[in-house]
Structure 1
Amino acid sequence: MEIGDCRNKSLISNLQSPNMDTIFLKLGGSLITDKTKVERVRHDVLTRLVEEIALARRENPALRLVLGQGSGSFGHVAAARHGTRHGVRDAAGWQGFAEVSDAAARLNRLVLAELLLANVPAVSLSPSASVGCVDGRIQTIATQPVQAALDAGLVPVVYGDVAFDSVRGGTIVSTEEVMMALVGEIRPSWLLLAGETTGVFDLEEQGISTISQANYAEIEAALGGSRGTDVTGGMASKVQSMLALVEQFPQMSIRIFSGLEPGNLAHTLLNPAEAGGTLLHANQ
């Protein structure tokens, strides 16, 4: 389906207002893997996060959750080695494309296994099979499988992956890009970004409680890069894209918070408006 295409009448109601029980949650790649070491999972962190997701679902059975996981030291390292983000033009490039796909899927399978062990009914929806790009940007995305999974009480899981591109041949789509492309039709009330830090910091390393277009210019210089290898950009580019998203869909808010603090993920899932971290919202 074309992004923003409202011709599917079954989705019209979703486009009118956010679903207050639907939350998008991204587990950052630097949170669930050690991005300074190739394909190193932080198993203790991942297991705890999954247990907190299971707890939140038990506490709020009405919660409809779309989970995204960063590729961390799996997909990003392979993608950087092959330059896949910039395009695929020959046999060697397509070999690299396949290797990046395999690396991203390996981490996804590990995440799915942990979720299932915790009795979270998660299903993987590979972006490489559902996304179409034009010159590095998502142009089409299949939203019906995500909606069907939610309606069935499942937790659809998406992740950073390779994608076919009509200009570049192949490219990389980040977890955030995939989730942002889903927002228009799934209409979550919150997008929660769990990472290593407690939020976004200013130049004095003080936490910034809220960010909107009104104060972005003041804090832009404080936004640095990303620790480890990340082919999809650091904090500055992510904050910019997230602000553009909440301006487009002002009913949704975004919270950046730490997933390292035990209990913080469950609390944020159950009380996103009152949780800690940095809140991104549209100008009022």
Structure 2
Amino acid sequence: MMLIKLGGSAITDKSKPLTSRAGDIKRLAMEIAGAEGTKMIVHGGGSFGHIKAAEFKLNEGFVDDSQREGICLVQKDMRKLNAIVVDAFREAGVPVASVPAGAITLFDNGQMVKFPSEVFIHYVKLGIVPITFGDVVVDRARGISICSGDDIMLQLAKDTDAVKCVFVTSVDGIFESYPPGKDEEPLSEVGPDTVIRFSSEDVDVTGSMKRKLDLMIEMASSGKEVAVVNGLVPDRLTDALKGNDFIGTRVKGD
């Protein structure tokens, strides 16, 4: 079993609202289709989710009636992006099922308390690849929360027999500093003892790069093979999925 996270920066142009990288999405779907084994797919929001989520401050919970419009718009736009991703996999010959996180996930005070991974496991048993995505979800205490694709990846890693967890992004891996320097090379391997310098500038609506890395290390600590690759470069994902040497970063656990 492989869990694959298609990051928002790899499948959208985050500088332009509602702009997908359609060609890259189709190629990534083909690369995933060419790798043997069962899979589950999670994708981020990029310019389809983050911009309006930040505009309406949805990460702060339900604090203002005007946020109702924001909830509607973000969920609508995320489903638009999901439809593009689903179509790409269908064209690649992969049978897929869309499973919106906003319809099945429950948070409490910003923490995931219910996520039915058995739904995903059942689809896999049917020979279908389930695809979900970061979304606005109900929160018992705060009204709403943002459930990131990274949150979903961690939960699926806990609840399934996944061996590999591959994070597809728009850069060559994980760097020693954020934001990275102009000529800085990615680290080939990171772990709990790796010292990485984080700037306050790297924070987005789903959390900082530090939090993302902490989640990856937690996955690796449970025995998963965790990798970060650049999805904008052809065959980087293929190499990581097939167990070849790859350009990117391996994440090690405790």
Q: Report the TM-score, using the length of structure 1 for normalisation.
A: 0.83
1:221 aligns with 2:197: yes
- Hey, what does 2:225 align to over in structure 1? 253
Q: 1:65 aligns with which of 27, 36, 39?
A: 39
Output the amino acid matched with 1:123: A
* Unaligned residue ranges in structure 2 (runs of 5+): none
Cα distance in 2 for partners of 1:69, 1:40 equals 15
1:188 aligns with 2:162: yes
- Hey, what does 2:241 align to over in structure 1? 269
Note the alpha carbon deviations across 1:114-145, whole angstroms, 9 max, x for none. Answer: 11111111111111111110111111111121
How many residues get paired? 249
- Hey, what does 1:4 align to over in structure 2? none
Cα distance in 2 for partners of 1:232, 1:240 equals 14
Cα distance in 1 for partners of 2:129, 2:95 equals 6
- Hey, what does 1:169 align to over in structure 2? 143
- The answer to whether the 8 A contact 2:4-2:41 is kept is yes
Note the alpha carbon deviations across 1:128-181, whole angstroms, 9 max, x for none. Answer: 111110111111111121001111111110101010000110111100101211
Pairwise CA distance, 1:29? 0.4
1:208 aligns with 2:187: yes
- Hey, what does 2:99 align to over in structure 1? 125
Pairwise CA distance, 1:267? 1.9
- The answer to whether the 8 A contact 1:268-1:275 is kept is yes
- The answer to whether the 8 A contact 2:3-2:165 is kept is yes
Matches within 5 A, 1:106-185: 106-185=80-159
- Hey, what does 2:251 align to over in structure 1? 280
Q: Against the structure 1 CA distance between its residues 110 and 51, is the aligned structure 2 distance closer, same or farther, given a 3 Å change threshold? A: same
Cα distance in 1 for partners of 2:209, 2:198 equals 10
- Hey, what does 2:32 align to over in structure 1? 53
Cα distance in 1 for partners of 2:62, 2:46 equals 22
Note the alpha carbon deviations across 1:17-71, whole angstroms, 9 max, x for none. Answer: xxxxx01001110111000010111111111111111222xxx2xx110111110
- The answer to whether the 8 A contact 2:150-2:215 is kept is no
Cα distance in 2 for partners of 1:82, 1:23 equals 34
Cα distance in 2 for partners of 1:223, 1:183 equals 28
- The answer to whether the 8 A contact 1:225-1:233 is kept is no
Q: Report the TM-score, using the length of structure 2 for normalisation.
A: 0.92
- Percentage of pairs with the same residue: 28
Cα distance in 2 for partners of 1:241, 1:112 equals 26
Secondary structure (helix, strand or coil) at the match of 2:197 reads: helix
Give the superposed CA RMSD: 1.8
Output the amino acid matched with 1:269: L
- The answer to whether the 8 A contact 2:109-2:142 is kept is yes
- Hey, what does 1:8 align to over in structure 2? none
1:42 aligns with 2:21: yes
- The answer to whether the 8 A contact 2:219-2:226 is kept is no
Pairwise CA distance, 1:223? 7.0
* Unaligned residue ranges in structure 1 (runs of 5+): 1-21
Cα distance in 2 for partners of 1:126, 1:89 equals 24
Q: Against the structure 1 CA distance between its residues 150 and 37, is the aligned structure 2 distance closer, same or farther, given a 3 Å change threshold? A: same
- The answer to whether the 8 A contact 1:223-1:235 is kept is no
Cα distance in 1 for partners of 2:76, 2:103 equals 13
